[in-house]
Amino acid sequence: MPNVSNQGDANQAAFGQFGSTFSVTTTETVKPPAGRVIIAITFLGDTTLNVLTAEKEVSGENKDASFNHTNEGAALADANGEPINDNIIFPKGLTIYGRWTEVSAASVTTNTGYIAYFAP
């Protein structure tokens, strides 16, 4: 899968030109369109997550790259990070960056939600 190493692609991704989606539900998992990954998530209200799965293909290597409530790690399982559980609150206004294949909320603030941005 391509990445955002091309300066033109990086600029487009920075301005959200590869698309985005808004979610305010705890019952559906957001997944990017084919050929895309989620590269940023902006929280519009205090949110807890139950799934945040990092892209497994990293620099041409197939690594275990999970980052969700059941696995430890930040971008890779061997990153020695702490597990994210349903009690971790991502506060309103925070944007996190990475390369994820899916995200879903355990709780979202009423009428707020989050925006997931896509890129190659």
Name the residue among 94, 54, 50, 46 with its Cα closest to residue 74: 54
How many folded domains does the chain comprise? Answer: 1
Cα–Cα distance, 91 to 33 (Å, whole number) = 26
Q: Residue 80: what pLDDT?
A: 59
Give CA–CA dist 52/63, Å, rounded: 16
Is 1 part of any domain?
A: no
Residue 81: give the domain boundaries. 7-119
The pLDDT tens digits for 16-51 are: 677 899 999 888 899 999 999 999 999 999 999 888
82 half-sphere exposure, CB direction, 13 A CA radius: 5
Please check whether residue 74 lies inside any domain of the structure: yes
In angstroms, rounded to a whole number, what is the distance separating the alpha carbons of residues 13 and 6?
10
Residue 71 has pLDDT above 60, yes or no: no
Report how far apart, in Å, the C-alpha atoms of 70 and of each of 28, 51, 78, 92, 119 are: 18, 9, 14, 24, 26
Query: 2 in a domain, yes or no?
Result: no
